[in-house]
């Protein structure tokens, strides 16, 4: 059951929406956030870390398929350094820390570093 006051209030509210011809709408600017800087995680060759351990690290931490992990491991073995992956800074640091812990626990001197990826659009 509607009272006269309720009907009057509803009519006033309806009038507000009908009389908005002079309203100015401001659009939000199309500013897009910058893409985060990416970092290459580099694996370095040494004479003690086994090839199997390097493949294990590449498959378990960097989620590489085994054939790709073997290819990266051989590249590192023959060239001294290779790219394990490219990530944002925080992800790269986390992966390096995880691999260094795994290597230390397995008594391997495996060394990883990171460096900024070359960026063409900055």
Indicate the pLDDT class of residue 122, thresholds 50, 70 and 90.
Answer: very low
* pLDDT at residue 13 greater than cutoff 90: no
Instruction: Using a cut of 0.95, tell me whether the model's pTM lies above it.
Output: no
pLDDT tens digit sequence for 82-119: 999 999 999 999 999 999 999 999 999 999 999 999 86
Spell out the domains of the chain, with CATH numbers in brackets: 48-116 (3.30.1390.10)
pLDDT tens digit sequence for 33-77: 989 999 999 999 999 999 999 999 999 999 999 999 999 999 999
CB 58 within 8 A of CB 73: yes
Torsion of CA 59, 64, 68, 72, to 10 degrees: -70
* pLDDT at residue 4 greater than cutoff 90: no
CB 99 within 8 A of CB 61: yes
CB 117 within 8 A of CB 40: yes
């Amino acid at each position: 059951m509607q009272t006269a006051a309720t009907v009057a209030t509803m009519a006033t509210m309806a009038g507000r929406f009908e009389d908005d011809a002079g309203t100015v709408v401001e659009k939000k600017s199309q500013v897009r956030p910058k893409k985060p800087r990416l970092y290459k995680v580099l694996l370095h060759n040494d004479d003690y870390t086994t090839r199997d351990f390097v493949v294990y690290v590449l498959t378990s931490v960097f989620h590489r398929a085994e054939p790709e992990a073997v290819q990266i491991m051989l590249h590192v073995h023959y060239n001294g350094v290779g790219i394990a992956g490219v990530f944002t800074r925080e992800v790269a640091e986390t992966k390096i820390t995880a691999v260094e812990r795994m290597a230390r626990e397995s008594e391997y001197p495996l060394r990883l570093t990171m460096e900024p990826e070359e960026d063409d659009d900055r």
